């Protein structure tokens, strides 16, 4: 029987600990785990802790200060519009060399709740917002995937003979009109390693309607291929590709790392250090956007001076 891989779930206090210590950062970077979820307490139904850090800001720190560790930032449309989430996800993909991704949840324990008629994103007091439910979160995930692919990385050609830097006609509108209305495209190119991994945290009774072009690469939680366990529990080793080890807010990150090292020596398959998150999880690349997508810009012409 193939052993499952091990992943980590870090709550707010763990993010503060991790980013405050070079020694802990080095120890995290050397762990042979598949990935870490940054700020899992935002989306798993936990009560907010007394301290936390923004998930994407911690991701930027890890991307710059480490070489091997892979991670998923957490986000929901409760506070963040998917266009802004997509910009962060794409930026982290560039900074980390593909070691990063996104874990989508329905509710953010640290975010304000918007008005009753628009509890998602309405908490920011902008525009019309949307209903706070799984369908809105799923639509946000679809938007993030499409936006990140709207500017293909291989459209950047840097042709010195013609002076054409980018095949700009390959940058396309996403033309989304569901829970969110987005024309696009994103104002940042796709990472060199391709579209980022998008995960879904299944901890809710509410489930979205899955459609063609499903953006979800990884399911974590109740019905997913990655089970969630708390420190001290017996690992659920059968029927799962991986297990996410979740420390409580009152357990230190050093205790969590100690537990990880013990589990990797016995029950779990170590994941080789470094490389992209998609490669580490052996996930296929998503299909590109349809060739019928509207170009955002005309085809470039050779520079007249060349």
> Does residue 199 lie within any of the structural domains?
yes
Q: Which domain holds residue 170?
A: 5-280
> In the structure encoding, which two tokens stand for residue 123, read together?
């908490």
pLDDT at residue 241 in the model: 94
| Reported pTM | 0.94
Does residue 218 sit within a domain? yes
**Mode of pairing for the β-strands spanning 156-159 and 164-166:** antiparallel
Q: Average per-residue pLDDT in the chain?
A: 90
Distance (Å, rounded) from C-alpha 234 to C-alpha 229?
8
Instruction: CATH number of the domain at 232, please.
Output: 3.20.20
d(CA 252, CA 153): 40
Report the pLDDT averaged over residues 244-267: 91
- What distance in Å separates the CA atoms of residue 10 and residue 234, rounded to the nearest whole number? 19
Closest CA to 269 of 278, 279, 281: 281
pLDDT reported for residue 114 = 65
Domain presence at residue 241: yes
**Range of lowest pLDDT (69-73, 85-89, 94-98, 212-216):** 212-216
Find all residues with CB under 8 Å of 137, minimum gap 6, and list them. 76, 77, 104, 105, 106, 120, 208
Assigned domain for 121 exists: yes
pLDDT higher than threshold 60 for residue 165 = yes
| Domains identified in the chain, total number | 1
For position 21, what pLDDT does the model report? 96
- Domain assignment present for residue 303? The answer is no
CA distance 190 to 176: 18
> What pLDDT is recorded for position 115?
66
Q: What is the pLDDT of residue 128?
A: 62
The stretch 174-181 carries a mean pLDDT of: 89
Residue 112 clears pLDDT 80, i.e. is over it: no
Judge whether 210 and 228 are in contact, CB under 8 Å. Answer: no
Per cent of the chain over pLDDT 70 is 92
Residue 102 lies in a domain: yes
In sequence order, what are the residues at sequence separation of 6 or more whose Cβ sits closer than 8 angstroms to the Cβ of residue 14?
A: 247, 249, 252, 253, 256
Whether the bond between 281 and the residue before it is cis, its omega within 30 degrees of 0, is no
**Cα–Cα distance, 37 to 16 (Å, whole number):** 14
Q: Is residue 292 part of a domain?
A: no
Is the per-residue pLDDT at 118 higher than 70?
no
Whole-number Cα distances in Å, 243 to 159, 162, 263, 286: 46, 51, 11, 24
The mean pLDDT of 161-171, rounded to a whole number, is 93
User: Helices marked H in the chain — which ranges?
Assistant: 12-19, 22-29, 55-65, 82-96, 134-149, 253-264, 277-280
> What is the rounded average pLDDT of the residues 226-235?
91
């Amino acid at each position: 029987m193939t052993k499952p891989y091990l992943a980590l779930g870090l709550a707010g206090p763990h993010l503060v600990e991790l980013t405050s210590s070079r020694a802990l950062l080095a120890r995290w970077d050397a762990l042979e785990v598949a990935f870490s979820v940054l700020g899992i307490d935002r989306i798993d139904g936990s009560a907010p802790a007394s301290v936390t850090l923004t998930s994407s800001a911690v991701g930027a720190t890890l991307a710059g200060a480490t070489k091997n560790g892979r991670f998923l930032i957490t986000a929901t449309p409760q506070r963040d519009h998917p266009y802004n989430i997509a910009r962060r996800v794409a930026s982290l993909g560039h900074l980390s060399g593909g070691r990063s991704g996104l874990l989508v949840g329905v509710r953010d324990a640290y975010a304000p709740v918007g008005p009753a008629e628009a509890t998602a994103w309405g908490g920011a007091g902008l525009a019309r917002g949307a209903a706070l439910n799984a369908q809105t979160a799923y639509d946000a995930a679809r938007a993030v995937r499409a936006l990140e692919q709207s500017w293909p990385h291989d459209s950047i050609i840097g042709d010195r003979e013609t002076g054409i830097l980018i095949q700009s006609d390959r940058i396309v509108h996403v033309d989304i009109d569901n829970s969110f209305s987005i024309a696009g495209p994103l104002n940042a190119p796709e990472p060199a390693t391709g579209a980022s991994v998008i995960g879904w945290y299944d901890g809710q009774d509410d489930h979205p309607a899955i459609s063609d072009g499903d953006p979800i690469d990884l399911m974590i939680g109740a019905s997913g291929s990655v089970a969630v366990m708390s420190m001290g529990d017996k690992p659920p080793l059968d029927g799962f590709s991986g297990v996410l080890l979740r420390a409580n807010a009152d357990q230190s990150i050093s205790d969590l790392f100690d537990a990880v090292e013990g589990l990797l020596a016995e029950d779990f398959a170590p994941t080789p250090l470094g490389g992209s998150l998609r490669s580490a999880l052996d996930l296929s690349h998503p299909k590109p956007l349809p060739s019928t997508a509207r170009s955002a810009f005309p085809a470039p012409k050779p520079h007249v001076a060349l």
